[in-house]
Each structure stands twice: as structure tokens, then as C-alpha cells.
Amino acid sequence: MSGVASFVPTPLLLSDSAKARLKSLIEEEGNRDLKLRVYVTGGGCSGFQYGFDFADSVAEDDTLVEFDDVALVVDPLSYQYLVGSTVDFEEGLAGARFMIQNPNATTTCGCGASFMV
């Protein structure tokens, strides 16, 4: 007989390039307590838009997702739209930016900064 396997879903994933960039930014700021806050607000060309900010504190109702020596923080309202997403970092002709690969989005804008569910 085989045993039951348990699976613990990860609310958010962080790509290797995003980890490296986040670690670099934290080192530049000289504050090891900084975390990347990922959030969703209304607006953008598709209805909702992604936002990123540094946070050095975590609210009681925030979700903290830790990856080795960096972490993401998500507020409870944004969490429902971001669960299962991957935070990535890309550099290209349009500049450098964090971006979200969101399996929950039914429509996204051309630049990927806004979405609809």
C-alpha cells in the first residue's frame, strides 16, 4: 500500500532572476529586513494592475512568503488575485522591471502590468 502524499501549495513563486534582483536591491538599501510587497489595485487598461514596493514590516493579516534570504509580502485583498502566480524580473529594451505571471488572469494588457479575472 502506498501512503497519502501531502501537498502544500505555495501562494506565490519567485523566479531566480527576481530573487537575484531583490537580493541586490536589499543589499543596496543596507536593510536586511526589507521584503518585496506585491499588491493589486484597481485600474490599468484591463481592470486591475500590479504594484511593487518595499516593506520592512508585516501586518498581522499579511501573507509572508519566504525564499531563502528574501521574502514577499501580500495583503489579504491582493492575495486572492495572486495565489499561484510567479514574480519575475526582466531587463530589456523597455527597461528593467518586476512582473507577474498570473494563471488567474483571463486577460492581460500588452505590457503585462494590468489584468482581468
Q: Residues comprising the binding site for iron-sulfur cluster?
A: 45, 109, 111
Binding-site positions read 45, 109, 111
Q: Are 86 and 67 in contact (CB under 8 A)?
A: no
- DSSP labels, 43-90: -STTSEEEEEEEESS--TT-EEEEETTEEEEE-HHHHHHHTTEEEEEE
